Chain A
Amino acid sequence: MMTKQTTPSQDDIVLDVQGLRTEFLMGRQWKPAVNDLSLTIRSNETVAVVGESGSGKSVTALSILGLLPAQGARIARGRVLFEGQDLTQLSENQMAQIRGNRIAMIFQEPMTSLNPTMTVGDQIGESLLIHRGMSLRDARKEALALLERVRIPAASRRINEFPHQFSGGMRQRAMIAMALACRPKLLIADEPTTALDVTIQAQILQLIKELQEEEGMGVLFITHDMGVVAEIADRALVMRYGDIVEDGRCADIFARPQHPYTRTLLFAVPQLGTMGQGNQPVPFPELDAEGNEKPAPPIADSSIRTEGQPLLQVRGLTTRFDIRGGFLRRIQGRVHAVQDVSFDLRAGETLALVGESGCGKSTTGRSVLRLLEPVAGEVVFDGQTLSKLSKADLKTGRRQMQMIFQDPFASLDPRQRVGDAIAEPLLVHRLVSRADMSATVGRLLRRVGLEPAMAERYPHEFSGGQRQRICIARALAMEPKLIVADESVSALDVSIKAQIVNLMLELQASMGLSYLFISHDMAVVERISHRVAVMYLGEIVEIGPRAQIFGDPQHPYTRKLLSAVLLPDPSRRRMRRTLSIDEIPSPIRPADHVSPKRAYREAGEDHWVMVEA
């Protein structure tokens, strides 16, 4: 195990924040967003600030950089010492000399942080021209060197490309190259890997770590993910509602978390293989108001009904999207989004579809519901072949299959009261009379842990977790047998995520629901699912019981995916010296492509693995 042994002395201190208090104007009052925050970062040290949305972690970064909005925000108290200067006392011009030069920043969304009309090389060169007064030719040479340092393959060619020609991971590499251009003493990274797939996330973290060692930078790493903290940070500050609730060395925090909130954050990190041998879902531990762990709800005996036909049978499902181009808009290629996918789902069972972005897991869910028209394949739901139904019959046939989306705010009509949103499907299908409606809506709201009186409100008056509860209530209104949950908890904060997952488990136990649970979040998948299907480039490469997939993965891609998942244990950091720069391949094939017929071998009971041709 390799951990850096630096003997910190006072001289090493890059950033020293003391008693920082940042306030925002709310109505007529100044309310603190960051309260009495102190932290020091030494060179070659990584300090993580961890918290959920609204914890003040991003405001901390903006305060340090002097990027708070000019109106409605102020630093009320505290000092931000960087190389002996108090940054809070500097003028905007003086700060501009420091930002992007001595202190660099990388953001969550690399696409919006890059200028789409400038080549990547020009953008990297820009800060060299401004801050280091280089000539155009030198700046270009340096930009090329930087792209090579962040391991962009064929850098001399790609330097002339535009951001949209880069993949998400490559864009983040380009952002890092820009940040490093002026050899900063301090790098502030605000959720730099949150929007990336797990395998790409691991690469980027590794890259930041290596570059830090080469440059001796201090890194301030802002994240909500304890797995990332364990992987990269030397010290961590846990923030909640603007206060620091825990502050210490990473190893200590993970070994002996002091504050209950830290423990909540830790529960959200995948344990991988520690869920035991059983295949029953395991609810998240919940904390009561005092911060003590509530006894986990007893795990129901298997909710799965094994007798009779499976509730959902999918056979050879294939969905493609045409890519047209040229003058006559001929088909030039096809996205093989879903390729020959087959699986069964029993009543009361949860099958998780996992994989990275573009693997076709969402398309599979939509094709099952026929929200997208599959090219081939058969979907039999409750004895009814959906693919044979006419459009009109589909409306009633789909009644018992509902969908819950990733973004609950987007999936509710902003101009509709939530009570009306829940009532609408019932009215359309004439399942409940108008007279009984408010009672039914009230019952559904109560069922998902909300108050019947909330029916009068609009979606924007609710928090993210409450909105997802509303979406669940709306889906339950139709008394479905199957719910397709497409990344339904991925956008929620970790503590809210735990509550929603537990609600879904409780509903499954009491109502016998089946879930097709589409997610990239292994921590959730590991808890919620009975069986797991791993998708790669539109195909299922491995499908089997949860314990088998997590405990004994067979397919190389499953192994790669699981090994990229970050564990909440700083002592198990994987220091792979060889940095992989693999990209996720594209599922676009030429128009005349004939997909090979795949064979599967049985690796255990009900555990199937694709055989490499």
Chain B
Amino acid sequence: MTIATSSPRRQSAFWMAFRSNRLAWLGVALLAIIVFSAVFAPWIAPHDPLQQNILHRLQPPSSEFLLGTDTYGRDVLSRLIYGSRVSLVVGFVAILIAMVVGSAIGILSGFIGGVFDRVVMSLLDVMLSFPTLLLGLMIAAMLGASFENLIIAIAITEMAPFARVARAPTISLKQRDFIEAGRAMGFSDSRLMGRHILPNMLSEVVVVGSMWMASAIRTEASLSFIGLGVPPPTPTWGGMIREGFENILDSWWLAVCPSVAILLTVLALNILGDALRDAIDPKTRVE
């Protein structure tokens, strides 16, 4: 009898594919800078983001205020750094909730199948047919503008894609022999779903999560832009764009700086998501 030689684990193959992707490192580096500045905002920010100073209002970028000041004389760079906290926390927490709830719905729907599956999927289709922003707007308006409500609104709007992503592999996995073997051994449905189906598709769901986090950050910015986000004076990127919008012609830095911040964050997350997806499934790579 031949003894199988210990071949490298799947994880290490994943790492090899990820490591060799140079673009991925750009995404990692960008995101690392953004996360670092969000975490260490009090030490990095040169000024107090809430400190108003009417004497310094609407100053263009200078050596003291690297990215200039806004209409209340607040330092734009400091507000940008503090604003990243809101964007990242809202994006991350909302996607985490959407991922957990959405995957649970998807797995349940795919596993149970039949009429239940059809009803759930039809409801999700209705949700998906609304533009993300419109749906977020409706929910945020209903709940009122606050940090928690913003997270809930975004979580609900981003849930449907996760349910779809989780359902497809569930349907193919549940026909695999090891699920039937589990049934034959008397495993409960919840064990089959939680212990055997979920781990086998977790990587796909996480990859989709990293991609949709970019979307969640965009939605957060959009809602803040129209005033349904975290209320002032907390600095948020979307809110900063709105305030800067009024003076776009003479004080361009007010709207441009937060826009570039959003752009870079979304870009970093998309690059990272693509790299993760490619590393997990090399077949989907676009050469």
Complex CA gap A371/B195 in Å reads 20
Partner of B184, one of A398, A429, A499: A398
Q: Which residue of B lies closest to A366 (CB)?
A: B180
Q: Which residues of A contact B6 (CB under 8 A)?
A: 457, 461
Complex CA gap A428/B186 in Å reads 8
Q: Which residues of A contact B180 (CB under 8 A)?
A: 371, 403, 405, 411
Complex CA gap A538/B182 in Å reads 26
Partner of A398, one of B176, B177, B186, B188: B186
B7 and A424 contacting across the interface, CB-CB below 8 Å: no
Contact status of A478 and B185, CB under 8 A, knowing A463-B2, A466-B4, A499-B1: yes
The answer to whether the Cβ of B183 comes within 8 Å of any Cβ in the partner chain is yes
Q: Which residue of B lies closest to A496 (CB)?
A: B1
Q: Which residues of B contact A429 (CB under 8 A)?
A: 186
Q: Which of A113-121, A412-420, A558-566, A583-591 contacts B (4 or more CB under 8 A)?
A: A412-420
Complex CA gap A414/B9 in Å reads 11
A405 and B185 contacting across the interface, CB-CB below 8 Å: no
Q: Which of A415, A460, A461 has most B Cβ within 10 Å?
A: A415
Q: Which residue of B lies closest to A410 (CB)?
A: B177
B185 and A371 contacting across the interface, CB-CB below 8 Å: no
Q: Which residues of A contact B195 (CB under 8 A)?
A: 413, 424
* B residues 7-24 in Cβ contact with A at 8 Å: 7, 9-10
The answer to whether the Cβ of B147 comes within 8 Å of any Cβ in the partner chain is no
* A residues 446-484 in Cβ contact with B at 8 Å: 449, 457-458, 460-463, 465-466, 471, 474, 478
B4 and A402 contacting across the interface, CB-CB below 8 Å: no
A369 and B178 contacting across the interface, CB-CB below 8 Å: no
Q: Which residue of A lies closest to B186 (CB)?
A: A395
The answer to whether the Cβ of A12 comes within 8 Å of any Cβ in the partner chain is no
Complex CA gap A517/B189 in Å reads 28
Complex CA gap A597/B215 in Å reads 64
Contact status of A425 and B177, CB under 8 A, knowing A413-B196, A449-B1, A463-B4: no
B7 and A407 contacting across the interface, CB-CB below 8 Å: no
Contact status of A396 and B4, CB under 8 A, knowing A410-B176, A458-B9: no
Complex CA gap A511/B199 in Å reads 35
Partner of A369, one of B4, B176, B184: B184
- By size class, the interface of chain A is 35 or more
B185 and A461 contacting across the interface, CB-CB below 8 Å: no
Q: Would you give the shortest CB distance from A71 to chain B, in whole angstroms?
A: 14
The answer to whether the Cβ of A574 comes within 8 Å of any Cβ in the partner chain is no
Contact status of A415 and B181, CB under 8 A, knowing A428-B187, A463-B2, A466-B4: no
Q: Which residues of B contact A402 (CB under 8 A)?
A: 184-185
Contact status of A403 and B184, CB under 8 A, knowing A458-B9, A466-B4: yes
B199 and A403 contacting across the interface, CB-CB below 8 Å: no
Q: Which residues of A contact B2 (CB under 8 A)?
A: 463
Q: Which residues of B contact A463 (CB under 8 A)?
A: 2, 4
Partner of A465, one of B1, B10, B184, B187: B1
Complex CA gap A406/B178 in Å reads 11
- By size class, the interface of chain B is 20 to 34
Q: Which residue of B lies closest to A464 (CB)?
A: B4
Contact status of A413 and B184, CB under 8 A, knowing A461-B6, A462-B4: no
The answer to whether the Cβ of A149 comes within 8 Å of any Cβ in the partner chain is no
Q: Which residues of A contact B183 (CB under 8 A)?
A: 371
B200 and A425 contacting across the interface, CB-CB below 8 Å: no
Q: Which residue of A lies closest to B179 (CB)?
A: A413
Query: What sequence of 0s and 1s flags, for each residue 190-201 of chain B, a beta carbon within 8 Å of any chain A beta carbon?
Result: 010001100110
* A residues 387-433 in Cβ contact with B at 8 Å: 394-396, 398-399, 401-403, 405-407, 410-416, 424-425, 428-429
Q: Which residue of A lies closest to B192 (CB)?
A: A413
Q: Would you give the shortest CB distance from B127 to chain A, in whole angstroms?
A: 26
Complex CA gap A414/B178 in Å reads 9
Q: Which residues of B contact A449 (CB under 8 A)?
A: 1
Complex CA gap A402/B2 in Å reads 27
Q: Which of B186, B195, B196, B199 has most A Cβ within 10 Å?
A: B186
Q: Would you give the shortest CB distance from B143 to chain A, in whole angstroms?
A: 38
Q: Which residue of B lies closest to A408 (CB)?
A: B177
* A residues 484-499 in Cβ contact with B at 8 Å: 499
Partner of A371, one of B7, B9, B184: B184
B187 and A424 contacting across the interface, CB-CB below 8 Å: yes
Complex CA gap A245/B9 in Å reads 35
Q: Would you give the shortest CB distance from A53 to chain B, in whole angstroms?
A: 12
Complex CA gap A198/B195 in Å reads 40
Q: Which residue of A lies closest to B201 (CB)?
A: A415
Complex CA gap A398/B200 in Å reads 26
Complex CA gap A396/B2 in Å reads 37
Complex CA gap A396/B188 in Å reads 11
Q: Which residues of A contact B191 (CB under 8 A)?
A: 428
Complex CA gap A403/B183 in Å reads 10
Q: Would you give the shortest CB distance from B185 to chain A, in whole angstroms?
A: 4
A413 and B9 contacting across the interface, CB-CB below 8 Å: no
B4 and A425 contacting across the interface, CB-CB below 8 Å: no
A396 and B186 contacting across the interface, CB-CB below 8 Å: yes
Can you show 6 pairs from A to B with CB atoms below 8 A apart?
Answer: A396-B186, A411-B180, A411-B181, A414-B200, A457-B6, A461-B4
Question: With A425-B185, A460-B7, A499-B1 given, can you name 17 additional A-B contacts, CB distance below 8 Å?
Answer: A369-B184, A371-B183, A394-B186, A399-B186, A401-B184, A402-B185, A403-B180, A403-B184, A407-B177, A410-B176, A413-B200, A428-B191, A457-B6, A458-B9, A463-B2, A466-B4, A478-B185
Seen from chain B, the residues whose Cβ lies within 8 Å of a Cβ on chain A are 1-2, 4, 6-7, 9-10, 176-178, 180-188, 191, 195-196, 199-200
Seen from chain A, the residues whose Cβ lies within 8 Å of a Cβ on chain B are 369, 371, 394-396, 398-399, 401-403, 405-407, 410-416, 424-425, 428-429, 449, 457-458, 460-463, 465-466, 471, 474, 478, 499
Closest 5 CB pairs of A and B: A411-B177, A395-B186, A410-B177, A425-B185, A415-B199
